[in-house]
Amino acid sequence: MNSKERILARLRHGRASSPATPYDAGGSPAETPVQLDIDSMIQALEAAHATVFRLPAKDWPNHLAGLAKEREWTRWWIGRDEAGKTWQNREPNSPATLFTDWDTQKHDLFDNAQVALSQAQGGITETGTLIVESHSNVPRTLSLVPPVHIVIVHESTLVATLQQALDQYGPGKMPTNLIFISGPSKTADIQQTLAYGAHGPKELVVYLCTAED
Partner 1 sequence: MSGFSTHPDHDFDVRIHDALGNAELRESFHGAMHFLRDKRRTQFPDPNALEALRDRGAAIRDRALARLPDLLEQLERNCTRNGIQVHWAETAEEANTLITGLVNAAQGKRIVKGKSMATEEIGLNSAFEAAGFTCLESDMGEYIVQQANETPSHIIMPAIHRNKASIARQFHTQIPETPYTEDVDELIGTGRRVLRRAFAEADVGISGVNFAVAETGTLCLVENEGNGRMSTTVPDMHIAVMGIEKVIERLADLPDLLRLLTRSATGQAVTTYLNLISSPRKQDECDGPRQVHLVLLDNGRSRIYADRQLRETLRCIRCGACMNHCPVYERLGGHAYGTVYPGPIGQVVMPQLHGLDRAGKLTQACSLNGACGEACPVRIPLPDLIRRLRHEGVTQDTGSPVKGHGRQRKPAEALTWKIWSLIHRTPWLYSLTTHLATRARKLLPPWPRAWTNHRAPLEPAERSFREMMEQRGRDPGGKQ
Q: Within 13-42, which residues bind partner 1 (CB under 8 A)?
A: 13-15, 17-25, 27-29, 31-32
Report the alpha-carbon distance of residue 8 to residue 124 in Å, rounded: 39
Contact 136, 129 (CB under 8 A): no
- 15 vs 69 by CB, closer to partner 1: 15
Please tell me whether residue 2 binds partner 1 under the rule CB under 8 A. yes
The reply on whether position 89 binds partner 1 by CB under 8 A is no
Q: Is the dihedral of CA 130, 133, 136, 139 positive or negative?
A: positive
Tell me if residue 8 falls in helix, strand or coil: helix
Q: How far is the CB of 189 from partner 1 (least distance, A)?
A: 4
Asked if 4 touches partner 1 (CB under 8 A), the answer is yes
Would you count residue 184 as binding partner 1 (CB under 8 A)? yes
Contact between 96 and partner 1 per CB under 8 A: no
Q: What x-and-dash track marks residues 114-143 binding partner 1 by CB under 8 A?
A: -------------xxx----xxx--xxx--
3-state SS assignment for residue 41: helix
Burial of 212 (0-12, 13-18, 19+ CB in 10 A): exposed
Q: Which is nearer to partner 1, 34 or 65 (CB)?
A: 34
**159 or 209: CB nearest partner 1:** 159
CB of 46 vs partner 1, minimal distance in Å: 14
175 near partner 1, judged by CB under 8 A: yes
Out of 89, 93, 104, 192, name the contact with partner 1 by CB under 8 A.
192
Backbone angles phi, psi at 160, to 5 degrees: -80, -45
Q: How far is the CB of 191 from partner 1 (least distance, A)?
A: 5
Q: Determine if 104 is a binding residue for partner 1 (CB under 8 A).
A: no
Q: Give φ, ψ of 148 to 5 degrees.
A: -125, 130
Please count the other Cβ atoms lying within 10 Å of the Cβ belonging to residue 136. Answer: 9
> Which amino acid, residue 146?
P
